[in-house]
């Protein structure tokens, strides 16, 4: 083979990779300029709603859609304005994609009628979006991002370089510091799993959660036998699992999503003779896709979600009934969170319209109102945000897969 052909091929392969990573979407924008006394107000919703992420993305999107529909039915802003949800998908080739998310946010920013947005679902997508919403002053509430670096510490500062003093990013779920801590407590104290092997998918969310679990697990007296990172699009985990089996851990911990390997690893544990070893993970493997991909091996897996189990919560009953009536299906683990996020934004927009004398408010007005949210009654409890944009309402749910279905083991309240 001639070297020139090799180098040419390399260039082409790179070009193809770049092309595969890029995808653009565009929507027409009908704008209502600031100051108008009627028109359309939009809430942007950016979630992964196709491919492997769809099983969790679509019920989440439905939550936001329900909130918007209810607001219109109840006479949004005195009936003068019409509220609309602008729905975009950030999955490319079946998987959440930061570039696609950033592109979607640019679409929202370019549309003057969009006053706030719900999303994204995944932490690595949030990393690409926060600098854009921070720059544009567009308020953004995520139903499900749990990575600590999005709101805390130097990582968060780097995301807010355009306006370091203002924060436009909020979330209604508990962050990974709390989730990882809870998972470590579950492993050590509840189940007495003293030896763990940790795997993560090397993404923002997965590695972040695994690192917190790693540190907390050691602190509680557990032994971490190893911590490995898998690579994107990997399908063969037999070598890794053979190695793990030889160490005979009490539990295998996975930090990541079903779509990034969480389901396949669990399935292949049977092939190397680890069918009896428990499997523990965070909210990334709490989607229904996990049971499909892991097959019968899904049984015996445990996972938390950074949300209460809406189906069991008395405060969520009205929401759950309305959701079932509207979408003819069960609520997803993050439906209530997305509903709450949209509700907070709708309330903030309504207040801004009233304060503006019934005229179309600015994004800054809406952002100010969202940041001031406190004691907001929602299906998932009293919501509020601290200075970093984190929720003041810390609830996690621990699930176990049994007979191919997730059952609630416990609801855990954490101190913020």
Partner 1 sequence: MDLFLQQLINGLSLGGIYALIALGYTMVYGIIELINFAHGDVYTLGTFFSLAILTLLGVTGIVTGPMLIVVVAVTILGAMLLCGLTGVIVERLAYRRLRNAPKLAPLITAIGMSFILENIMQYWRGPSPVPFPQVIPNPSFALGAISIQTKQIMVILLAVVLMFALQAFVYNTRMGKAMRATAQDKDAAQLMGIDINTTIALTFLIGSALAGAAGFVSGVYYGSTWFFNGFAAGLKAFTAAVLGGIGNLAGAMLGGFLIGLIEALTTQFIGDQWSNVMVFSILVLVLIFRPSGLLGESLPNKV
Q: State the residues that interact with partner 1 by CB under 8 A.
A: 1, 3, 5-6, 8-9, 12-13, 16, 50-52, 54-55, 91, 93-94, 199, 202, 228-231, 233-240, 242-243, 246, 263-264, 267-268, 271, 273, 289, 292-293, 295
Q: How far is the CB of 9 from partner 1 (least distance, A)?
A: 6
- Whether a cis peptide bond, with omega within 30° of 0, leads into 90 is no
- Compute and round to an integer the Cα radius of gyration of the chain: 22
Q: What is the token pair recorded at 311? A: 């189906």
Closer by beta carbon to partner 1, 195 or else 227: 227
Q: Which is nearer to partner 1, 218 or 267 (CB)?
A: 267
- Least distance in angstroms from the C-beta of 143 to partner 1: 21
Q: Take residue 395 and report the two structure tokens written for it.
A: 């609830």
Give least dist CB 268 to partner 1, A: 7
Strand partners, 410: 398
Q: Is 103 helix (H, G, I), strand (E, B) or coil?
A: helix
DSSP label at 362? P
Rounded Cα gap, residues 267 and 382, in angstroms? 39
91 or 344: CB nearest partner 1: 91
**CB nearer partner 1, residue 235 or residue 325:** 235
Spatial CA neighbour of 61 closest among 71, 72, 46, 51: 46
Give whichever of 232 and 413 is closer to partner 1, judged by the CB atom: 232
- Nearest CB to partner 1, comparing residues 51 and 180: 51
The CB density around residue 319, as the number of other CB atoms within 10 Å, is 24
> Which residues are within 8 A (CB) of 292 and not within 5 positions of it... i.e. 6 or more apart?
55, 263
Element (H, E) at 181: helix 176-185
DSSP string computed for 243-269: HHHHH--SEEEEES-GGGTHHHHHHHH
Q: Minimum distance between the CB of residue 102 and partner 1, rounded to whole angstroms? A: 21
Q: How far is the CB of 124 from partner 1 (least distance, A)?
A: 17
Q: Which CB, 162 or 270, lies closer to partner 1?
A: 270
Smallest distance from partner 1 to CB 49, Å: 11
Nearest approach in angstroms of CB 311 to partner 1 is 24
Shortest gap between Cβ of 34 and partner 1 (angstroms)?
Answer: 40
Q: Which helix (H) or strand (E) holds 102?
A: helix 98-110
Element (H, E) at 141: strand 139-142
For partner 1, give the closer residue by CB, 177 or 268: 268
Between vectors from CA 303 to CA 299 and to CA 306, what angle results, nearest 5°?
150
User: Which of 222, 351, 205 lies closest to 282 in space, CA to CA?
Assistant: 205
């Amino acid at each position: 083979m001639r070297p020139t052909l090799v180098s040419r091929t390399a260039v082409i392969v790179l070009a193809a990779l770049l092309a595969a990573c890029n995808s653009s979407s565009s929507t027409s924008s009908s704008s209502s300029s600031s100051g108008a006394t009627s028109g359309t107000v939009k809430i942007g919703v950016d979630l992964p709603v196709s491919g492997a992420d769809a099983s969790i993305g679509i019920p989440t999107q439905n939550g936001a859609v329900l909130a918007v529909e209810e607001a219109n039915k109840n006479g949004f802003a005195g009936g003068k304005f019409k509220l609309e949800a602008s729905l975009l998908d950030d999955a490319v080739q079946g998987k959440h994609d930061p570039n696609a998310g950033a592109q979607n946010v640019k679409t929202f920013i370019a549309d003057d009628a969009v006053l706030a947005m719900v999303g994204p679902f995944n932490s690595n997508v949030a990393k690409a979006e926060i600098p854009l919403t921070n720059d544009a002053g567009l308020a953004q509430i995520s139903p499900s991002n749990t990575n600590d670096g999005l709101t805390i510490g130097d990582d968060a500062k780097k995301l807010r370089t355009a306006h370091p003093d203002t924060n436009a990013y909020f979330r209604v779920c508990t962050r990974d510091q709390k989730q990882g801590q809870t998972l470590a407590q579950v492993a050590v104290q509840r189940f007495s799993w003293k030896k763990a092997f940790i795997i993560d998918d090397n993404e923002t969310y997965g590695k972040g959660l695994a690192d917190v679990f790693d540190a907390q697990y050691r602190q509680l007296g557990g032994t971490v036998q190893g911590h490995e990172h898998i690579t994107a699009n990997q399908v063969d985990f037999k070598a890794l699992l053979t190695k793990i089996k030889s160490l005979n851990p009490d539990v295998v911990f996975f930090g990541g999503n079903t779509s990034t390997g969480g389901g396949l690893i669990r399935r292949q544990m049977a092939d190397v003779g680890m069918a009896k070893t428990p499997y523990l993970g965070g909210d990334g493997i709490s989607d229904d896709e996990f049971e499909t991909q892991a097959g019968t091996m899904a049984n015996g897996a445990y996972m938390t979600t950074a949300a209460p189990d809406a189906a069991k919560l008395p405060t969520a009953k009205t929401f759950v009934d309305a959701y079932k009536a509207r979408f003819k299906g069960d609520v997803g683990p993050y439906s209530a969170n997305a509903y709450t996020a949209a509700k907070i934004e709708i309330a903030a927009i309504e207040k801004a319209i009233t304060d503006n004398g019934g005229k179309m408010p600015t994004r800054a007005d809406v952002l100010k109102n969202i940041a001031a949210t406190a004691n907001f009654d929602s299906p998932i409890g009293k919501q509020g945000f601290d200075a970093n944009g984190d929720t003041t309402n810390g609830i996690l749910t621990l699930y176990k897969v049994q007979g191919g279905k997730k059952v609630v083991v416990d609801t855990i309240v954490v101190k913020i």
